[in-house]
C-alpha cells in the first residue's frame, strides 16, 4: 500500500527513539533531579529574552533591513505602549494604548 524508502523509515524510527529518550530522561532517574542555582536564575530571564527576540526585530526592521524613517507607526505605538506601562503597569492597557496610536497612523496616514 505504501512504498516507504528504508532511509525514511529509519529516520522516523530514530527520531521517535530520540524523542522518547529525551522526554523521558527525567523519569529514568530514581533520585530527584534539580537544576543548579545559576541555571534556575538564568531561566527566570528566558521568557523576556524570547519575547524580546521576537518583538524587537518586528519593531525596528522592515524587509530584513532597519527602518530608515521616523514616519513608522510602530515607533509611535511602542512609545505609547511604553508610556502607558510606565504609568499604569498594566499589560492590557499597554496593548490598547499601542493599538490606539498604531491603527490611525497605519490606516489613516498609511505609515
What predicted TM-score, i.e. pTM, was given to this entire model? 0.61
Mean pLDDT of the chain: 91
CA–CA dist 23, 19 (Å, integer): 6
Q: Is 58 exposed, middle or buried (0-12, 13-18, 19+ CB in 10 A)?
A: exposed
Judge whether residue 28 has pLDDT over 80: no
Residue of higher predicted confidence among 103 and 31: 103
Q: What is the pLDDT of residues 47-85, one digit of tens each?
A: 999 999 999 999 999 988 999 999 999 999 999 999 999
CA–CA dist 89, 93 (Å, integer): 8
Report the range of poorest mean pLDDT among 28-32, 79-83, 100-104.
28-32
DSSP string, 61-101: EETTEE---S--HHHHHHHHHHHHHHHH--HHHHHHHHHHH
Amino acid at each position: 500500500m505504501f512504498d516507504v524508502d528504508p532511509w525514511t523509515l529509519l529516520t522516523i524510527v530514530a527520531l521517535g527513539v530520540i524523542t522518547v529518550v529525551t522526554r523521558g530522561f527525567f523519569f529514568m532517574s530514581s533520585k530527584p533531579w534539580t537544576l543548579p542555582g545559576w541555571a534556575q536564575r538564568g531561566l527566570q530571564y528566558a521568557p523576556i529574552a524570547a519575547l524580546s527576540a521576537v518583538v524587537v526585530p518586528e519593531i525596528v526592521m522592515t524587509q530584513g533591513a532597519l527602518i530608515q524613517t521616523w514616519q513608522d507607526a510602530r515607533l509611535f505605538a511602542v512609545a505609547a505602549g511604553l508610556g502607558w506601562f510606565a504609568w499604569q503597569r498594566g499589560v492590557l492597557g499597554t496593548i490598547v494604548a499601542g493599538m490606539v496610536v498604531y491603527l490611525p497612523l497605519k490606516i489613516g496616514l498609511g505609515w
